[in-house]
């Protein structure tokens, strides 16, 4: 036993998978300690806020300001404020005015603005340009003037007599230390469509999905193991009957069955545990088949015959003479079942047949939400890409562990 | 004295386990086989006789590792050659190897003639298919195998026939040394006789220059080979002609081994069989002294701590024991 | 060296222990029907050492499974101590197995590698109704059994079977039989997987055990030399049938059946020449 464990932990594949899986599990337990609270709490009103650090505008203006003379900061501000859309429009205007811009680099903000300054004339209407477009360029010009002006921002408050009194003047050279601002919020993965912290949701969803996988794997393994043991050991009619049922389950595509069962249960009844059980109920055939074939090769072994000759009962023979021999095999099957349970949940939820949405997030539900709110079309990668990455990592680590175990327990695979 | 076909000098090889422990499976083995002669290796399972066979081919792959010593085939030293060269130039033409389960090594999807083509093409890629068929038919006819077996698949042949086919295929290039590791153990006695007859015929016709035969069945070894070596815990403990070894063993271990022979012959019923208690030493940490001392009835304190030399006597006989021949004979006569 | 130590005893008048009439085993049906054991009759007497000799595929292992009650005969009847054997229910099987026990070929697969050696031996004591014995008495019984096979029980406690050598494991199997004291011991090639030096020890122990317990030993082997060495009576089996049986001396030294003659002449010997000149390589093997 000790030796077996030693061998298992000498297998680089198993150790690799184990470390990845352990890291995921640790994150699952440790992250909520630093960031407690309900993962489904809506912290933002808008949808799909980008990843980043958010400071409250109100608190920022209240905070003590320092004045810096940072000339390049002004340039950077201009460069950052001038969107690609604006730049393309400016080029379009130059072209319409038939100005030679062959030397102009669109990303060179200074040159672009200088060119604009020299050439823009609100009174001239370029040939073939619609009135609306002319107005658009007027508005663009105004906003450019605003950007350049660097005017002081005046913040006013209502005084004692009800009139607005200037309380604070903010100039372009004023800066706030973010540490001095209250309520700084870092969202490493932004928010989702409901304005919820994606990272927090992801950590919680990983936990739920692994629980679903474990439950589905346990259900599938228990059913598959008992059917496989009975069919393999008893043989004859029992074997034929169990294999008949197993074959039926094998022939009907498991996923279709899963969809039908999930659908007929109904949205309201589908908690995470129910979904996990349903996944387990449809996924046991593979375990049953392989356990059966293992047991058939074991049941004619001499030690089983000897155990029979010693008058041991059926249950005792199965528990002490057969189960320990296939234990390693069952553990490997269980790992694969967990992995496929997690994937099955993701698939189901993606189709909108997963657990009901109000209680807990799962990896599949997060993908479902991202898909429903078109995260993939509006470029909000943070709403679905990390989820895919986590599913892949879990699946990869479990399969790696399985391969490692297989190499230890199946000497023909050793290199 | 004939020309020496195979000479092994102080060969040492080891296994490396999964936990990086060394197992010294072949520890300082030396012997030679002359042209036209056959040599048998006897010993219990785990004594290193199969490892010795593998080591002699010079074809090492993990967990087996070469440590030191020379393997000289017809004057050519092949120890230390890289496995690929060995595979291309030595195996098949210089050495042929038949493992115990050889008959199960045939790819079931291919016809027998294809194996022959593979073997011959590995050494002479220019040979045409017609030439190969001619060669194969001549050899098959010579060793009494049906010619239609060439166009059959391995599964269509019986166990004995498969084993004979494997031998015919692996000796088609007339190797100088044939190493047979329990070639007939998985067969019934009638097929075994056919296999042995065929191997002997290959030797007599000169297609195979010399043979090394490994088995744990002593009566078989006695009938097949000219000389017998007894191996124990990675070392040769005694060497002599088959007749001398079976009827006049010197080393206590060979004495015990020969005393345990069972044959269906008058007078063998009910006599006391020799039994050796205990188990061979762990080769991860071989003892300093005699490796058999723990199980030896005649061992003295010296046996356990002194390195035991190989002693030669008679006509090319050798044994590895601290005690003298007369002392041992005296002890045996009192049993 | 060649003085016979054991003389040929006559068992024809001894009471019957296990016998069979028309015992047949057929696998499959229709075109795929294989008759593994074909209407064999046999009579094994009390205290007799019987060998059943056959090459692989002769049906000797199938017959042994039927004798042990691990599989049912397709046809024919087996009598235990003169009465028809009844193994129709689990309880009756347990009763039968108190009378017949086995040692199998492969010691490495005969033990449950997850159980300690103590458990194996304790099971035997419990089966013989020794459940209520004190710890000390049980320990003494186990020590005695191990003593019988030259093992030291103190060194074996808390060890697992795989920590022993093949020979030691097979001896432990004999210790198990020593504790169970059955009427019949069926030994299915118990020495084919152990080394020549351990073989002698095991054979001697089997003979001693037979004398000590007074049981019938049914020894199944492919090695005719071994059968000749050890048994009182020899049954030669070919293609599911007994082609010849009788006292060991008579069958081996003066065989009548063609198969027996061929078998004996094909086995390599050391005093008589092993004649290869008569072998015709062109014959279909």
Residue B139 lies in a domain: no
Closest-CA residue of chain B to A411? B18
Query: Is C113 contained in some domain?
Result: yes
Evaluate if residue C13 carries a pLDDT over 80.
Answer: yes
Question: Does C171 reside within a domain?
Answer: yes
Q: What is the pLDDT of residues C25-68, one digit of tens each?
A: 999 888 888 899 999 999 999 999 999 999 888 899 999 999 99
Average pLDDT over residues A342-352: 90
What does residue B191 show for φ and ψ, rounded to 5 degrees?
Answer: -65, -35
Q: How do B38-42 and A164-170 pair as beta strands?
A: unpaired
Distance from the A9 Cα atom to the nearest Cα atom in chain C, whole angstroms: 21
Question: Quick one: A94 and A121 in the same domain?
Answer: yes
| pLDDT mean across residues, chain A | 86
**Are A340 and A381 found together in one domain?**
yes
Q: What pLDDT sits at residue A149?
A: 67
Residue C284 lies in a domain: no
How many residues would you count in chain C?
A: 285
Predicted confidence (pLDDT) per residue in A108-145, tens digit: 877 888 888 888 887 877 777 788 888 888 888 888 77
| CATH number assigned to the domain comprising residue C251 | 3.40.50.300
- How many Å is the maximal CA-CA distance in chain C? 69
Answer whether residue A411 shows pLDDT above 80. Answer: no
Is B266–C204 a contact, with Cβ atoms under 8 angstroms apart? no
Q: Which residues of A touch B (CB under 8 A)?
A: 6-7, 10, 414
How large is the average pLDDT for residues B20-44? 90
pLDDT (0 to 100) of residue A150:
64
Contact residues on chain A for C127, CB-CB shorter than 8 A: 310-311
The answer to whether C194 and C166 have CB atoms below 8 angstroms apart is: yes
Q: Does B19 touch chain A (CB under 8 A)?
A: yes
Q: What is the DSSP letter of B259?
A: T
Measured between beta carbons, the chain C residues lying within 8 angstroms of B216 are: 195-196
Same domain, A180 and A312: no
Same domain, yes or no: A237 and A307: yes
Contact call for A324 and C104, based on CB within 8 A: no
Nearest alpha-carbon partner for B88 in B101, B78, B98, B102: B78
**Per-residue exposure over A289-317, b if at least 16 CB sit within 10 Å of its own CB, e if not:** bbbbebbeebbebbbbbbbbbbbbeeeeb
- Asked, for residue B202, whether it belongs to a domain, the answer is yes
Which pTM was predicted? 0.79
pLDDT of C133 reads 87
Number of inter-chain CB pairs under 8 A, A vs C? 44
β partners of residue A157: A165
* Count of domains for chain A: 3
**Minimal-distance CA residue of chain B relative to C203:** B273
Check C114 against A303: CB less than 8 A apart.
no
User: What does the pLDDT look like over B92-123, one tens digit per residue?
Assistant: 888 999 988 777 788 888 899 998 898 888 88
| pLDDT tens profile A284-320 | 998 999 999 999 999 888 899 999 998 888 899 999 9
Residues A322 and A253 in one domain: yes
3-state SS record for chain A: CHHHHHHHCCCHHHHHHHHHHHHHHHHHHHHHHHCCCCCCCECCCCCCCCCEEECCHHHHHHCCEEECCCHHHHHHHHHHHCCHHHHHHHHHHHHHCCCCCCCCCCCCHHHHHHHHHHHCCCCCCCCCCCHHHHHHHHHHHHHHHHHHHCCCEEEEEECCCCCEEEEEEECCCEEECHHHCCCCEEECCCECCCCEEHHHHHHHHHHHHHHHHHHHHHHHHHHHHHHHHHHHHHCHHHHHHHHHHHHHHHHCCHHHHHHHHHHHHCHHHCCHHHHHHHHHHHCCHHHHHHHHHHHHHHHCCHHHHHHHHCCCCHHHHHHHHHHHHHHHHHHHHHHHHHHHHHHHHHHHHHCCCCCCCCCCCCHHHHHHHHHHCCCCCCCCHHHCHHHHHHHHHHHHHHHHHHHHHHHHHCHHHCC
- Using a CB–CB cutoff of 8 Å, tell me whether C211 touches chain B: no
In a domain, B239, yes or no: yes
C258 touches chain B (CB under 8 A): no
**Is 70 exceeded by the pLDDT of residue C140?**
yes
* Residue B302, in any domain of the structure: yes
Write the pLDDT tens digit of every residue in B245-262.
Answer: 999 999 999 998 888 888
Chain A residues inside the 8 Å CB shell of B18: 7, 10, 414
Nearest CB among C68, C111, C123 relative to A310 is that of C123
**Is residue B100, in this structure, part of any structural domain at all?**
yes
Read off the pLDDT band of C2 (50, 70, 90). Answer: very low
**Residue C6 contacts B, CB cutoff 8 Å:** yes
CB burial readout A176-189, b (16+ within 10 A) else e: beeeebeeeeebeb
Considering the domain architecture, whether residues A198 and A137 belong to the same structural domain is answered as: no
Same domain for A236 and A330, yes or no, is: yes
pLDDT, tens digit (0-9, with 9 covering 90-100), for C143-193: 999 999 888 888 888 888 888 888 888 999 999 999 999 999 999 998 888
Do the chains contact at C110 and A302, CB–CB below 8 Å? Answer: yes
CATH number of the domain at A347, please.
1.10.3720.10
Q: Which of A236-250, B269-283, C144-158 has the lowest mean pLDDT?
A: B269-283
Domain total for chain B? 1
Amino acid A414: pLDDT = 53
Lowest-confidence range among A63-77, B66-80, C19-33? Answer: A63-77
Alpha carbon distance B273, B261 (integer Å) = 8
Per the structure, the count of domains in chain C is 1
pLDDT digits (tens, 9 = 90+) for A20-49: 999 999 999 999 998 888 888 888 787 888
A-interface mutation test, from C87, C112, C113, C121, most A Cβ less than 10 A away? C112
Reduce the DSSP state of residue C95 to 3 states and report it. Answer: helix
Contacts C197 to B, Cβ<8 Å: 44, 256-257, 260, 274-276
Q: Do the Cβ atoms of B44 and C55 come within 8 Å?
A: no
Mind telling me how many Å the CA of C118 is from chain B's nearest CA?
21
Cβ pair A311:C127 closer than 8 A: yes
First vs last C-alpha separation in chain A: 22
Kindly state whether residue B138 falls inside one of the protein's structural domains. Answer: no
Per-residue pLDDT band for C5 (boundaries 50, 70, 90) equals low
A7: closest CA of chain B, how far (Å):
8
* Cβ–Cβ below 8 Å for B272 and C5: yes
Range of the domain at C258: 16-266
Q: Which of C143, C190, C154 is nearest to C170 (CA)?
A: C190
C147 near A CB under 8 A: no
Q: How far apart are the first and last CA of chain C?
A: 38
Give mean pLDDT, residues A218-222. 96
Q: Are residues A116 and A167 in the same domain?
A: no
The answer to the question of residue B113 being in a domain is no
Q: Chains with ≥3 Cβ pairs under 8 A against A? A: B, C
- Calculate the average pLDDT of chain C: 87
Give the integer Cα–Cα distance in Å for B163 and C222.
20
Work out the minimum CA distance from A297 to partner chain B, whole angstroms. Answer: 21
Which domain does B206 fall in, by range? 4-105+175-333
CATH number at residue B54: 3.40.50.300
> Do residues A216 and A244 both lie within one domain?
yes
The pLDDT confidence band at residue A151, using thresholds 50, 70 and 90, is low
Contact B219 C225 (CB under 8 A): yes
Total CB pairs under 8 A between chain B and C: 139
CB–CB of C227/C51 below 8 Å?
yes
Q: Does C233 touch chain A (CB under 8 A)?
A: no
Given a contact cutoff of 8 angstroms between Cβ atoms, the answer to whether B175 and B120 are in contact is no
Of A77-86, A115-124, B319-328, C159-168, give the range with the top mean pLDDT.
Answer: B319-328
A-chain CB neighbours of C123 within 8 Å are 310, 312
Q: Are A207 and A26 in contact (CB under 8 A)?
A: no
pLDDT (0 to 100) of residue C285: 45
Q: Can you give the residue range of the structural domain that contains A290?
A: 2-44+192-413
Which of A271-280, A387-396, C50-59, C205-214 ranks highest by mean pLDDT? A387-396
Residue B231 pLDDT: 93
- Cross-strand bridge partners of residue A185: A54
């Amino acid at each position: 036993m000790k030796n077996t464990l030693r061998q298992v932990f000498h297998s680089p594949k198993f150790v690799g998978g184990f470390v990845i899986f352990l890291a995921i599990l640790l994150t699952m337990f440790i992250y909520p300690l630093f960031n407690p609270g309900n993962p489904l709490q809506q912290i933002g009103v808008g949808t799909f806020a980008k990843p980043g650090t958010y400071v409250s505008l109100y608190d920022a203006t209240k905070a003590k300001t320092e004045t810096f003379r940072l000339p390049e900061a002004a340039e950077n501000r201009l460069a950052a404020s001038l969107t690609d859309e604006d730049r393309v429009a400016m080029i379009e205007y130059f072209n319409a005015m038939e100005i030679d811009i062959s030397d102009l680099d669109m990303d060179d903000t200074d040159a672009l603005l200088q060119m604009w300054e020299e050439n823009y004339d609100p009174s001239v209407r370029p040939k073939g340009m619609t009135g609306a477009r002319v107005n658009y360029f007027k508005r663009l010009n105004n906003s450019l003037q605003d950007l350049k002006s660097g005017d002081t921002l005046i913040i006013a408050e209502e005084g004692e007599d009800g009139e607005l009194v200037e309380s604070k003047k903010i100039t372009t050279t004023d800066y706030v230390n973010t540490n001095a601002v209250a309520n700084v919020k870092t969202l490493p993965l932004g928010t989702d469509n409901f304005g919820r912290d994606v990272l927090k949701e992801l950590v919680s969803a990983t936990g739920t999905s692994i629980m679903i996988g474990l439950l589905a794997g346990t259900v599938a393994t228990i059913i598959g193991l008992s059917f496989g043991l009975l069919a393999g050991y008893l043989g004859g009619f029992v074997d034929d009957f169990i294999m008949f049922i197993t074959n039926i389950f094998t022939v009907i595509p498991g996923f279709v069955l899963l969809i039908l069962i999930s659908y007929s249960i109904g949205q309201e009844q589908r908690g995470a545990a129910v979904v996990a059980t349903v996944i387990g109920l449809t996924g046991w055939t593979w375990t049953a088949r392989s356990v059966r074939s293992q047991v058939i090769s074991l049941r004619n072994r001499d030690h089983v015959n000897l155990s029979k000759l010693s008058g041991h009962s059926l249950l005792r023979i199965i528990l002490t003479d057969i189960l320990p021999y296939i234990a390693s095999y069952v553990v490997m099957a269980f790992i694969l079942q967990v992995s496929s349970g997690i994937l099955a949940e993701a698939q189901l939820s993606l189709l909108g047949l997963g657990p009901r949405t109000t209680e807990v997030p799962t990896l599949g539900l997060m993908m479902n939400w991202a898909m429903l709110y078109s995260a993939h079309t509006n470029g909000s990668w943070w709403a679905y890409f990390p989820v895919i990455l986590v599913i892949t990592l879990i699946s990869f680590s479990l399969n790696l562990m399985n391969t490692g175990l297989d190499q230890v327990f199946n000497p023909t695979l050793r290199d | 004295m004939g020309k020496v076909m195979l000479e092994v000098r102080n060969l040492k090889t080891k296994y490396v386990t999964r936990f990086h422990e060394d197992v010294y499976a072949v520890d300082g083995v030396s012997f030679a086989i002359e042209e036209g002669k056959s040599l048998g290796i006897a010993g219990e399972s785990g004594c290193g006789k199969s490892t010795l066979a593998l080591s002699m081919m010079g074809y090492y792959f993990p967990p087996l590792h070469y440590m030191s010593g020379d393997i000289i085939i017809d004057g050519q030293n092949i120890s230390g050659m890289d496995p690929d060269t060995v595979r291309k130039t030595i195996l098949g033409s210089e050495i042929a190897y038949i493992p115990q389960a050889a008959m199960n090594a045939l790819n079931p999807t291919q016809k027998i003639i294809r194996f022959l083509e593979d073997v011959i093409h590995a050494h002479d890629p220019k040979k045409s298919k017609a030439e190969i068929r001619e060669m194969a038919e001549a050899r098959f006819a010579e060793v009494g195998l049906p010619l239609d077996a060439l166009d059959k698949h391995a599964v269509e042949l019986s166990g004995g026939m498969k084993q004979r086919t494997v031998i015919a295929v692996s000796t088609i290039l007339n190797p100088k040394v044939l190493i047979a590791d329990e070639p007939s153990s998985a067969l019934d006695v009638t097929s075994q006789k056919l296999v042995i007859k065929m191997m002997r015929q290959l030797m007599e016709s000169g297609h195979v220059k010399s043979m090394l035969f490994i088995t744990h069945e002593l009566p078989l070894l006695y009938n097949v080979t000219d000389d017998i070596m007894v191996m124990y815990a990675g070392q040769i403990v005694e060497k002599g002609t088959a007749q001398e070894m079976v009827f006049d063993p010197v080393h206590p271990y060979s004495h015990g081994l020969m005393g345990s022979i069972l044959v269906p012959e008058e007078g063998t019923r009910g006599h006391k069989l020799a039994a050796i208690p205990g188990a061979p030493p762990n080769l991860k940490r071989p003892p300093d002294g005699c490796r058999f001392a723990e199980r030896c009835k005649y061992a003295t304190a010296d046996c356990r701590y002194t390195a035991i030399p190989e002693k030669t006597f008679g006509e090319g006989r050798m044994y590895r024991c601290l005690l003298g021949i007369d002392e041992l004979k005296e002890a045996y006569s009192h049993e | 060296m060649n003085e016979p130590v054991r003389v040929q005893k006559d068992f024809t008048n001894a009471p019957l222990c296990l016998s069979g009439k028309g015992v047949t085993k057929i696998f499959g049906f229709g075109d795929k029907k294989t008759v593994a054991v074909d209407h064999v009759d046999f009579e094994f007497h009390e205290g007799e050492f019987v060998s059943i000799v056959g090459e692989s595929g002769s049906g000797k292992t199938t017959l042994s499974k039927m004798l042990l009650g691990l599989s049912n005969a397709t046809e024919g009847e087996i009598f235990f101590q003169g009465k028809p054997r009844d193994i129709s229910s689990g309880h009756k099987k347990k009763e039968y197995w108190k009378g017949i026990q086995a040692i199998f070929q492969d010691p490495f697969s005969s033990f449950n590698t997850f159980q300690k050696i103590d458990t194996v031996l304790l099971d035997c004591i419990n089966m013989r109704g020794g459940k209520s014995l004190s710890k000390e008495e049980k320990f003494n019984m186990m020590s005695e059994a191990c003593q019988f096979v030259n093992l030291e029980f103190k060194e074996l406690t808390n060890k697992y079977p795989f920590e022993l050598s093949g020979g030691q494991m097979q001896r432990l199997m004999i210790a198990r039989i020593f504790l169970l004291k059955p009427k019949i011991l069926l030994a299915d090639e118990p020495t084919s997987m152990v080394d020549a030096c351990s073989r002698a020890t095991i054979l001697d122990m089997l003979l001693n055990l037979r004398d000590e317990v007074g049981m019938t030993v049914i020894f199944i082997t492919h090695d005719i030399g071994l059968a000749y060495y050890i048994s009182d009576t020899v049954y030669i089996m070919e293609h599911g049938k007994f082609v010849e049986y009788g006292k060991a001396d008579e069958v081996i030294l003066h065989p009548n059946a063609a198969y027996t003659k061929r078998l004996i002449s094909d086995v390599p010997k050391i005093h008589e020449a092993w004649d290869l000149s008569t072998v015709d390589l062109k014959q279909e093997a």
